[in-house]
Structure 1
Amino acid sequence: MAIYHLSAKPPIRRADGRCATAAAAYRAGCAIVDERTGTRHDYRRRHGVVCARLHLPGGAELTDRAAFWNALEHHHRRKDAVLAREVVIGLPAELAEVDRARVANTFAMAISARYGVAVDCAIHLPSGRGDDRNHHAHLLISACHVDGTGALGSKALLLDPIHCRKARVGDSVSWLRPAWERAVNDALAEVGSRARIDHRSHAVRGIHRRPTIHNGIGPGAPQRRYRNEMNRQRNIECEQIDQSIRRLRTLKNKLLQRQAEIDARCARLGGKRLAASGSPSRAMKPSSRSASKAGKVRP
C-alpha cells in the first residue's frame, strides 16, 4: 500500500552551527571542502545514495556541487543566516527504481521553477536496519533565488513561513503537499498500479479514526527505542478508543433501526384504530335517542 509522506525539516541555519556544504555532502554522499571555514566534509563512504542531481530554474543542472554550495555560503554573510531548506519525500515501493528517480527529480524541477531556487535532489535507499520499502529523497533547497546559470540573488520570500504568515499568503508547504500527491498518483497510474496516496487528514477525508504516530523499526539508539515504545503505547490507546467508538456507533445504529421499526408499527396500529372508529356505518347512522331529541321543539 502506497503511503503519503512529505515533511519539511528545520532549515539549515548558521546560528545552529550548521552549514549548507555539510548538508549537501551528507545527502549526496560526496566530499565538499567548506571554503569559508576550511572544514572538509567527506561522506563518500556513505552507503545508500542512489543518485543526486542539482537542479536550476529553466531545467538546467549543475555538476559542480561543491562550487555552488560554497558560493551560497559566501553569499550569505549574516551569522544567523538561513542557508537552505530541506524537504523529505517518501517514494512508493510500487514504482521501479527508474520511475522513483523520475518522479523525484521531476518534482524537484517543479519546485525550482515555481520558486526560482536551486534544488539538490538526493535519492536514498531504505536503511539496512529499517523497513526495506522506505525509499525516500532529500530535497535541499537554496534559501535565495538562483537563475538558470547558478548566479545567486535575493532571499526567496515565499519559502519563508514567517513572511508568508505576515503577508497572509499560503506558505510553500500548502503547495508542496498536494503537488507531491498529484505527482505520485500520476506516476502510479502510468505504470498501471491501483495504489493511490492522499495528503489530506482523516478528518477532511471523513475517516473516523484517530491518527497514529509513525513508529520506526530496527534497534536504533536508546533514545529512539524509548520514543518508539511511547509511540507504540499511544497507538495502542488510539486503536482501543477507535474500537470503542466503532462498537458504540454500531449499537447506536441498531437502536435507531429498532426505534424506526417501533415507530412504523405504532403508525400501522394507529391507522387501524382510526379506520375502525371512523367507519361510515357507525359514524353516519344517528341513534334513535338523538333522532327523537332532534324532533322536539322547545316552546
Structure 2
Amino acid sequence: MAIYHFSVKAISRGKGQSAIAAAAYRSGEKLVCDFYGKEQDYTKKSGVEHTQIYAPENTHPDLLNRQNLWNAVEKSERRKDALLAREFEIAFPQELSQEQRQALLSDLCQDIVKRHGVIVDAAIHAPHVSGGSDERNYHAHVMFTTRAINKNGTFEAKKYRDFSRDDGTKTVTEWRKNFADLVNVQLEAIGSKERVSHLSYEDLGNGLEATQHEGYEVTQQRRRYEAEQQKNEEDRDPEIIMPDVAQANDAIRQRNADRRSDRQEIKGLDQEIIASNALLSDLQRSKAKSDAEHAQQQQIALERKREQMAAQSLVDAHKRATDFHTAFDPNRPDKSLVTQYITDYALLARHGKQPQPPAPVEQPQPTWWQRMTGQQLPPPEQPPFFEIDAIKAIAQSIVEHEQEQAQQQKWQRL
C-alpha cells in the first residue's frame, strides 16, 4: 500500500537550533558553524542516499556550497529567536526505486524554487533496518531558506510571507496537495494502481481513525520492547514496557485493518450481487425461468449475508457500548476504550440506536425487623452511565494532555 507523509517544520534559533547543525545531520557531512564557532560532524551517519542543492539560476556561486549557504543564513538572521529555515519532511512510496525517488524529490524541489525563489537543500534518507526501522521508511528532508534570492544573486532584505500567519495554512495545504499529485504521477508512470491523498481520514470520510505521532523516544522504546520480547521470558527486563501511545496506535491500526477487511468483504459481496444481476438479466432475456430463479435466490442469499454482517456489526457495537459504562474509570480514562466508544456510538446513532441509560435500581422494601428497629436502608447503587458529550470532552482532554507531554518532552530534548 502506498503511504503518504508530508509534514512542515521550522528550524529556529529561538528553539536552540542551528541551520548548520541541521544541514550537517541531513547531508551526513562535517560543517563548521561560524555563528556558534562549533564543528558539526555527521560523517559517520549512515543511510544518506542522496543530497542536492536547488537554487534559482542567478544565485551567487558561493551560496551553492552547503557550508557557505547556511553560514550566510546564520549571518543574515540577527535576532536571537530568528527563524532560520523551513523544512518539508516527506515519505516515499515503497513502490518507487532509488532513481524514481530522486526524480520525485527533484520535481518537488524545483517547484519550491520556482514558486518561492528560495534555495533548497534536500537529502534522501534510507531506513536504518539494523536499528529496527521499517524497511519501507525511505524519506527526505527538504530544507529551504526563509529569504528569496534577489536579482543580484544574494538574499532579499525581507523574508517572503507565503508561510505567514495569514497565508501559512493555505500555503501548506497547497504544498501537501501538490506533493500528493507528484506521487500519484510517479505511481501511474510505473504502472501501479496505488494512489495517495493529502486529505485526512476525517476529510475523506472513510471511518478510519488517525494514529498519534509517536516521535523518536517512543519509537526507540517500542524497538527496545520488541527486542526484549525476542528473549526467553525469564531473561526479559520487566521494566521495559510498550509506551501507552504505541499501544493505543497498535489498537487503532488493528481496528482500521478490521474495518478495511469488512469493507473488502462487503465490496466483494456487492460485486457478486452485480454479477448475479447481470446473469439474471441474461436469463430473463433467454426466458430460462429456472436459471433465472436460481440466480435470484443466489442474489437474495448474498444480500441477506451482507445484511447479517451489518446487523452483527451493530450487535457488537451495542455490546461494547453497554459494557463500556462498567469498564470505564473517569479518574483513569483509557484512550483506546474512549475512542472505541465514540466510534460505536456514532455507528449506533446512524441507525437510531444510541445507548440508553439503564433503568434505575429501586429502593428495596425493608424487612419487618428493619421496620421495627427503625433501620434506614442505604440508597441502592445505581448503574453507571456516561453521556456522550462527557466522553467526547474526556477524549479531547486526553489528546490535549498528550500534546502537552509531547511538547514538554520536546523542550526537554532541546
TM-score (norm 2): 0.53
Q: 1:244 aligns with which of 319, 338, 344?
A: 344
SS of match in other structure, 1:36: coil
Q: How far apart are 1:25 and its partner, in Å?
A: 0.6
Q: How far apart are 1:230 and its partner, in Å?
A: 4.8
Q: 2:146 aligns with which of 143, 146, 149?
A: 143
Q: How far apart are 1:244 and its partner, in Å?
A: 3.4
Contact between 1:212 and 1:238, CA under 8 Å: does it hold in 2?
no
How far apart are the structure 2 equivalents of 1:59 and 1:207? 47
How far apart are the structure 2 equivalents of 1:187 and 1:113? 20
> Which structure has the larger Rg?
1
Deviations 1:17-39 (A, max 9, x none): 21111111111110110112210
SS of match in other structure, 2:156: strand
How far apart are the structure 2 equivalents of 1:88 and 1:14? 19
Alpha carbons of structure 1 residues 156 and 223: separation in structure 2 relative to 1, 3 Å: farther
Q: How far apart are 1:156 and its partner, in Å?
A: 3.4
Which amino acid in the other structure matches residue 135 of structure 1?
Y
Q: Which residue of 2 aligns with 1:197?
A: 196
Q: Which residue of 2 aligns with 1:132?
A: 135
Q: Which residue of 2 aligns with 1:118?
A: 119
Where in structure 2 are the equivalents of 1:16-27 lying within 5 Å? 16-27=15-26
Deviations 1:199-227 (A, max 9, x none): 1122332312333335555238x899454
Which amino acid in the other structure matches residue 178 of structure 2?
A
Identify, as 1 or 2, the structure richer in helix: 2
Contact between 1:91 and 1:136, CA under 8 Å: does it hold in 2?
yes
Contact between 1:161 and 1:172, CA under 8 Å: does it hold in 2?
no
Q: Which residue of 2 aligns with 1:106?
A: 107
How far apart are the structure 2 equivalents of 1:41 and 1:189? 41
Q: How far apart are 1:146 and its partner, in Å?
A: 2.1
Measured on the aligned residues, the alpha-carbon RMSD in Å equals 3.2
Q: Which moved more, 1:56-65 or 1:117-126?
A: 56-65
Contact between 1:31 and 1:41, CA under 8 Å: does it hold in 2?
yes
Alpha carbons of structure 1 residues 109 and 127: separation in structure 2 relative to 1, 3 Å: same
Where in structure 2 are the equivalents of 1:1-299 lying within 5 Å? 1-9=1-9, 11-58=10-57, 63-128=64-129, 129-147=132-150, 151-164=154-167, 171-213=170-212, 216=219, 218-219=223-224, 225-232=243-250, 236-237=336-337, 240-241=340-341, 244=344, 248=348
Which amino acid in the other structure matches residue 130 of structure 1?
S
How far apart are the structure 1 equivalents of 2:180 and 2:89? 14
Identify, as 1 or 2, the structure richer in strand: 1
Contact between 2:120 and 2:145, CA under 8 Å: does it hold in 1?
yes
Query: Structure 2 unaligned runs (5+)?
Result: 226-239, 254-335, 354-414
Q: How far apart are 1:234 and its partner, in Å?
A: 6.3
Contact between 1:32 and 1:66, CA under 8 Å: does it hold in 2?
yes
How far apart are the structure 1 equivalents of 2:242 and 2:18? 25
Deviations 1:46-93 (A, max 9, x none): 001001111112497965110111111111112121110111001111
Percent identity, aligned pairs only? Answer: 32
Query: Structure 1 unaligned runs (5+)?
Result: 254-299
SS of match in other structure, 2:185: helix
Contact between 1:57 and 1:148, CA under 8 Å: does it hold in 2?
no
How far apart are the structure 2 equivalents of 1:102 and 1:234? 34
